[in-house]
Structures are given as structure tokens and as C-alpha cells.
A = this chain, B = another copy of it.
Amino acid sequence: MNHSGVTLDEIEVGMSASLSKTLGEVDIVLYSGITGDNNPVHVDEEFAKKTRFGTRIVQGMLTAGLISAILGTRLPGTGTIYIRQDLRFKAPVKIGDTAVATVTVREVNRERKRVILDTICKVGDTIVIEGEAEVMPPSKKA
């Protein structure tokens, strides 16, 4: 009824899913309130102008949240248990940029009930985050 995604039996190496979102000022401001990350490089344009970035940038962990969103809602989807996430922050995301997160199944171990996925976020052709996730997909549809 509430299920979207695939089960442990259905998931296969090479399956892939993407999610894109424009990360606007409202996202940065709300995320700052939720987490306490009010670093001036995210919320103070006058400060950010003088940094190497030249303008306010998005909190890296906010962009990484797109990866988590795909894992929990699309691939594997509903019922997935998040085990591990490794993130390498490669380039800044500026306010107003559209980030595209993509997860691709690299390994499936049905006995251990574990799946490893490559996880990447891009803005245009630039990789902004790369890494990998380990999850336990649901055994059956919710």
C-alpha cells in the first residue's frame, strides 16, 4: 500500500535511481535552524563574498540528504535500513544550484541481506559529493 521501491529479492547490480533538487535560500535557512549549522559561509552573504567561494554555499550534509532520500524512497525504497554512508565533499554547491543525486547498485549479498551502492551528487558536470552507501533492503513489500 505504502511501498515504493524494490525488495532484497528484486534488487540487482547496476540498478540506478536519481533525484534532483534546486537548493535555494529557503533550504539553507531552514536546514540551519534544524541542525544549528549557521556557519556564516552558509547564511552571511557579506562574509561569504570574501571567501574562496565568492558567495553563500549550501551545507554539504544538506546536499548529501538527497542520497538518503533516494535510498529511503526509491532504491531500494520503503523499508530500507541505512547501515553506513561514506561521503567525500569534492566541490561547493552554491545557493540556487540544482544538485542531482544518483545511486547505483554495486554489490548485492542476499545471504547477509546487504547491498552496497555508489552514491554521487553532481551540479551540471561537476561531481560535488562522491561516496558509497551500505543498506539492508526490505525482505517484502510494506
**Assembly stoichiometry (copies):** 2
Question: CA of A2 to CA of B89 in the docked complex: distance in angstroms?
Answer: 24
Q: In the complex where A40-B78, A40-B142, A61-B61 touch, is A35 in contact with B69 (Cβ < 8 A)?
A: yes
Among B31, B37, B82, which residue has its beta carbon within 8 angstroms of that of A73? B37
Mark interface residues in A76-110 (1 if CB within 8 Å of B CB, else 0). Answer: 00111011111111000000000000000000000
Which B residues are in CB contact (< 8 Å) with A42?
A: 72
In the bound complex, do residue B65 and residue A62 qualify as a contact, i.e. CB atoms below 8 Å apart? yes
Which B residues are in CB contact (< 8 Å) with A78?
A: 39-41
In the bound complex, do residue A35 and residue B89 qualify as a contact, i.e. CB atoms below 8 Å apart? no
In the bound complex, do residue A72 and residue B30 qualify as a contact, i.e. CB atoms below 8 Å apart? no
